[in-house]
Amino acid sequence: RFVVSDSSKDFVPLQQDLDYIKNYIELQKLRLTNKESVIFEVEGNSADLRISPLILINFIENAFKYGVIDEASEPVIISIKVEQQTLFLNVENTISKEVTPETEKSEIGLKNTKKRLDYFYTNHYKLTIHNDLSKFIVELKIFLND
Protein backbone atom coordinates (compact mmCIF):
# COMPACT_ATOMS: atom_id res chain seq x y z
CA ARG A 1 0.00 0.00 0.00
CA PHE A 2 2.85 2.39 0.85
CA VAL A 3 4.50 2.00 -2.54
CA VAL A 4 1.26 2.32 -4.48
CA SER A 5 -0.51 5.10 -2.60
CA ASP A 6 2.13 7.14 -0.78
CA SER A 7 5.21 6.92 -2.98
CA SER A 8 3.75 9.46 -5.41
CA LYS A 9 3.72 12.11 -2.68
CA ASP A 10 6.64 14.50 -2.43
CA PHE A 11 7.05 13.87 1.31
CA VAL A 12 5.77 11.35 3.85
CA PRO A 13 6.32 11.02 7.60
CA LEU A 14 9.81 9.65 8.22
CA GLN A 15 8.41 7.02 10.57
CA GLN A 16 6.22 5.69 7.76
CA ASP A 17 9.28 5.30 5.51
CA LEU A 18 11.22 3.64 8.34
CA ASP A 19 8.34 1.20 8.96
CA TYR A 20 8.37 0.28 5.28
CA ILE A 21 12.12 -0.37 5.45
CA LYS A 22 11.75 -2.47 8.60
CA ASN A 23 9.02 -4.57 6.98
CA TYR A 24 11.13 -5.01 3.83
CA ILE A 25 14.12 -6.22 5.87
CA GLU A 26 11.95 -8.59 7.92
CA LEU A 27 10.57 -10.01 4.67
CA GLN A 28 14.10 -10.53 3.33
CA LYS A 29 15.11 -12.25 6.57
CA LEU A 30 12.41 -14.87 6.01
CA ARG A 31 14.52 -16.22 3.14
CA LEU A 32 17.61 -16.58 5.31
CA THR A 33 18.77 -19.48 7.41
CA ASN A 34 21.22 -17.28 9.31
CA LYS A 35 19.32 -14.33 10.77
CA GLU A 36 22.57 -12.81 12.09
CA SER A 37 23.66 -12.13 8.51
CA VAL A 38 21.63 -8.89 8.55
CA ILE A 39 22.29 -6.18 11.10
CA PHE A 40 19.65 -3.44 11.15
CA GLU A 41 19.75 -0.53 13.57
CA VAL A 42 17.64 2.60 13.88
CA GLU A 43 18.51 5.33 16.38
CA GLY A 44 16.97 8.67 17.17
CA ASN A 45 13.62 10.38 17.13
CA SER A 46 11.77 10.50 13.81
CA ALA A 47 8.71 12.32 15.18
CA ASP A 48 7.56 15.33 13.16
CA LEU A 49 10.11 14.70 10.40
CA ARG A 50 9.23 14.09 6.77
CA ILE A 51 11.20 12.56 3.91
CA SER A 52 10.77 12.02 0.21
CA PRO A 53 9.55 8.41 -0.01
CA LEU A 54 11.54 5.46 -1.33
CA ILE A 55 14.93 7.16 -1.37
CA LEU A 56 16.47 5.09 1.41
CA ILE A 57 15.00 1.76 0.34
CA ASN A 58 16.83 1.79 -3.00
CA PHE A 59 20.21 1.53 -1.28
CA ILE A 60 18.92 -1.23 1.00
CA GLU A 61 17.38 -3.22 -1.85
CA ASN A 62 20.70 -3.10 -3.70
CA ALA A 63 22.48 -4.60 -0.69
CA PHE A 64 20.14 -7.60 -0.85
CA LYS A 65 20.24 -7.81 -4.63
CA TYR A 66 24.01 -7.60 -5.14
CA GLY A 67 25.42 -8.50 -1.75
CA VAL A 68 26.51 -11.68 -0.06
CA ILE A 69 23.45 -12.84 1.82
CA ASP A 70 23.11 -15.40 4.61
CA GLU A 71 26.72 -15.25 5.81
CA ALA A 72 27.14 -14.19 9.44
CA SER A 73 30.83 -13.56 8.79
CA GLU A 74 29.92 -11.02 6.08
CA PRO A 75 26.68 -9.42 7.27
CA VAL A 76 24.66 -6.79 5.48
CA ILE A 77 24.82 -3.80 7.81
CA ILE A 78 22.08 -1.17 7.67
CA SER A 79 22.21 1.72 10.10
CA ILE A 80 19.84 4.68 10.22
CA LYS A 81 20.41 7.45 12.71
CA VAL A 82 18.36 10.59 13.23
CA GLU A 83 19.90 13.54 15.06
CA GLN A 84 17.68 16.60 15.28
CA GLN A 85 16.73 17.20 11.61
CA THR A 86 19.55 15.18 10.05
CA LEU A 87 19.26 11.59 8.89
CA PHE A 88 22.30 9.37 8.44
CA LEU A 89 22.04 6.16 6.43
CA ASN A 90 24.90 3.69 6.25
CA VAL A 91 24.58 0.49 4.21
CA GLU A 92 27.46 -1.92 3.90
CA ASN A 93 27.60 -5.25 2.14
CA THR A 94 30.13 -7.64 0.70
CA ILE A 95 29.69 -7.87 -3.07
CA SER A 96 28.51 -11.26 -4.26
CA LYS A 97 30.75 -13.06 -6.73
CA GLU A 98 27.66 -14.79 -8.08
CA VAL A 99 26.26 -11.81 -9.99
CA THR A 100 25.31 -13.10 -13.40
CA PRO A 101 25.07 -10.99 -16.57
CA GLU A 102 21.26 -10.99 -16.24
CA THR A 103 21.45 -9.48 -12.75
CA GLU A 104 24.43 -7.24 -13.42
CA LYS A 105 23.68 -3.81 -12.14
CA SER A 106 22.47 -1.23 -14.59
CA GLU A 107 22.70 1.50 -11.96
CA ILE A 108 19.40 2.94 -13.20
CA GLY A 109 17.95 2.80 -9.68
CA LEU A 110 21.01 4.54 -8.28
CA LYS A 111 20.87 7.25 -10.96
CA ASN A 112 17.16 7.83 -10.33
CA THR A 113 17.74 8.02 -6.58
CA LYS A 114 20.48 10.60 -7.09
CA LYS A 115 18.12 12.63 -9.28
CA ARG A 116 15.45 12.54 -6.56
CA LEU A 117 18.00 13.63 -3.97
CA ASP A 118 19.09 16.50 -6.22
CA TYR A 119 15.49 17.53 -6.80
CA PHE A 120 14.16 17.35 -3.21
CA TYR A 121 17.34 18.00 -1.23
CA THR A 122 19.46 20.34 -3.36
CA ASN A 123 22.52 21.31 -1.30
CA HIS A 124 21.01 19.54 1.73
CA TYR A 125 22.49 16.07 1.35
CA LYS A 126 25.79 14.31 0.98
CA LEU A 127 26.05 10.92 -0.69
CA THR A 128 29.26 8.94 -0.64
CA ILE A 129 29.55 5.55 -2.30
CA HIS A 130 32.59 3.35 -1.83
CA ASN A 131 32.74 0.50 -4.31
CA ASP A 132 35.73 -1.75 -4.59
CA LEU A 133 36.03 -5.38 -5.65
CA SER A 134 34.75 -6.76 -2.35
CA LYS A 135 32.71 -4.13 -0.46
CA PHE A 136 29.94 -1.70 -1.32
CA ILE A 137 29.35 1.05 1.22
CA VAL A 138 26.76 3.81 1.01
CA GLU A 139 26.87 6.78 3.35
CA LEU A 140 24.02 9.26 3.03
CA LYS A 141 23.40 12.34 5.11
CA ILE A 142 20.18 14.30 4.53
CA PHE A 143 19.06 17.47 6.26
CA LEU A 144 15.30 16.99 6.63
CA ASN A 145 13.85 20.45 6.80
CA ASP A 146 10.20 20.83 5.89
Per cent of the chain over pLDDT 70 is 88
115-143 mean pLDDT: 94
Using pLDDT thresholds of 50, 70 and 90, give the confidence band for residue 71: confident
Range of the domain at 56: 2-143
Can you give the CATH number for the domain in which 76 is found? 3.30.565.10
Question: What's the number of domains the chain is made of?
Answer: 1
More reliable by pLDDT, 46 or 2? 46
Per DSSP (E only), the strands in the chain are: 12-13, 38-43, 50-51, 76-83, 86-94, 125-131, 135-143
Which residues, 6 or more positions from 131, have their beta carbon under 8 angstroms from its beta carbon? 95, 137
CA distance 45 to 121: 20
Distances (CA, A) of 30 to 2, 3, 37: 20, 21, 12
pLDDT digits over 4-56, tens only? 455 667 899 999 999 999 999 999 999 888 888 999 999 999 999 999 999 99
Using pLDDT thresholds of 50, 70 and 90, give the confidence band for residue 114: very high
